[in-house]
Amino acid sequence: MAIAEPPVVQAEPPPPPTRRSARAITWARRRRAVAAHWRVYRRNRQGMWGLAILLIFIALALAAPLLVDERRLEPAFSTGIPFQPPSADAWLGTDKFGRSMVDLLVYGARISLLVGFTATVGTMLIGSVVGIAAGYYGGRIDALLNAFTNWFLVLPWIVLAIVLASLLGATLFNIILVIAITSWAGTARLVRAQTLTVKERPYVERARALGAGDWHLITRHILPNVFPVIFANTVLTVALSILSETTLSILGLGDPNSVSWGVIIEESFSSGALTAGYWWWLIPPGVCIVLVTLAFTMCGYALDEILNPRLRER
C-alpha cells in the first residue's frame, strides 16, 4: 500500500458552483425528491386511475356548498316528491323526504372523506408514537407497549367500536375517535418493525457517535426512514376508516345530523327501501363507497410499490 498525495476527487454532474444558504439547499433537495417520486408514480397506471377518481370526489366534497343549496337537505325545507325514481328533475331520484339523491351524495362525500382523513390522522399519530417508542427504546417499554398493541389487535374491533360509540354518544367527533382508537394497532406494529430495522443501521450509530440524542435520532433518522412505509399504509387506512364509518352508520351508531354515505344507506334500510324496490336510494351511496375505497387502495398500493424499497426492486 503505497502512500501517495490524495488526488482530488471530482463529482460527475456539475451544478453551478454558487454559494447557497443551507435552507435553499434543503429546499432544492426536497423539490428534487418530490419530482423524482412523481415521475415514478406517473408511470403507474393503477395509481393514476385511483388518483383521478379521488381527485373528482375531493373536488366534489370541497365544492359541495357551491353546487348544492344546503337548506334543501333539511327534511323540513325539502320541496321534492318522496320516493321518486331517477328522472330529469332528480337524476338519481329522491329519498323519503323528497331530497335529491345527487345532493345527498355530494354532501355525503364531504362527511365520509372528512371522517376518513381525520380518523386516519389519529390512527397514524397513535400508531407511530407507540410503534416508534416500542421499537426505539426496546426492553421493558417495548414489552409493555407490545402487549398493549397485541391486546388491541386481537380484540374484535367491531365489538369495541359499538361499545365505545354507544358509550360516547353519536356525534361525528366521537365516531372519528372510535375509529382511531380501534385501528391504530396495525400501524403501531408496522412502525415498530420498521423502527427495529432502521435503529440498527450504521448511520444511526454514526449520529450517536456525533453526539446526537434520542430526539435527534428519532426525528432525523428513524422517522424519515420509517415514514415511507407509514405513508403507503396511511392511504390504505383512509379507505378502512371510511368503511368503518359506513359500518357504524349502517348499524345505527352514526351521527344522524351529518349525512354520510353510510347514514344514507342506514336510512334507506330503516325505511324499507329494500322491500319497496327503491334501488336508487341504496345503490348509489354503495357505489360511491366502493369507488372511493377502491381509489384509495389503488393509490396505496402504487405508493407502496414506490416507497417500499423491497417492492421497488421487482
Partner 1 sequence: MSAEAVPARDATASGEARAIIEVRGLEVGFEGRVGVLAGLLGRRGARARAVDGVDLDLYEGEVLALAGESGCGKTTTARAIMGLLRPQAGEIRFEGRPLGRRLRAYRREVQMVFQDPTGSLNPRKTIYEIVAEGLRIHRISQGPNGETEEELVARALSRAGLRPPERFYLLYPHELSGGQRQRVVIAGALVLDPRVIVADEPVSNLDASVRGEILALLMKLREELRISILVVTHDLGLAWTVADRVAVMYLGRIVEIGPAEEVLQRPRHPYTRALLDVVPEAGGIDRPILSGEPPDPTRVPNGCRFHPRCPAVASGRAARLGIEERCRTVPLAPLPAAQDHLVACYLAELGERP
Binding residues (CB under 8 A) for partner 1: these are 1-15, 17-22, 25-26, 28-29, 32, 201-203, 205-213, 216, 220-221, 224-225
Alpha carbon 165 to chain centroid, angstroms: 21
Q: Which is nearer to partner 1, 189 or 221 (CB)?
A: 221
Contact 132, 195 (CB under 8 A): yes
Q: Report how far apart, in Å, the C-alpha atoms of 275 and of each of 34, 86, 129, 271, 281 are.
A: 52, 18, 48, 9, 12
Tell me which residue of 280, 265, 261, 215 sits closest to 116, measured CA to CA: 261
In degrees and rounded to multiples of 5, residue 267 shows phi and psi of -65, -40
Angle made by CA atoms 73, 77, 81, in degrees to the nearest 5: 85
CB of 144 to partner 1, least distance (A): 15
Q: Which is nearer to partner 1, 23 or 314 (CB)?
A: 23
Contact 77, 71 (CB under 8 A): yes
CB of 197 to partner 1, least distance (A): 12
CB of 11 to partner 1, least distance (A): 4
- Rounded Cα distance between 258 and 111, Å, is 7
Strand partners, 94: 100
DSSP code for 83? T
CB of 58 to partner 1, least distance (A): 29
How long a stretch of residues is the chain? 314
In degrees and rounded to multiples of 5, residue 94 shows phi and psi of -135, 165
Q: Which is nearer to partner 1, 3 or 167 (CB)?
A: 3
Q: Which is nearer to partner 1, 90 or 198 (CB)?
A: 198
CB of 5 to partner 1, least distance (A): 7
User: End-to-end CA distance of the chain, in Å?
Assistant: 41
Burial track 85-122 (b if 16+ CB lie within 10 A, e otherwise): eeeeebebbbbbbbbbbbbbbbbbbbbbbbbbbbbbbb
Q: Which is nearer to partner 1, 144 or 155 (CB)?
A: 144
CB of 189 to partner 1, least distance (A): 19
CB of 198 to partner 1, least distance (A): 10
CB of 28 to partner 1, least distance (A): 6
Q: Which residue do the cell numbers 366534489 mark?
A: 60
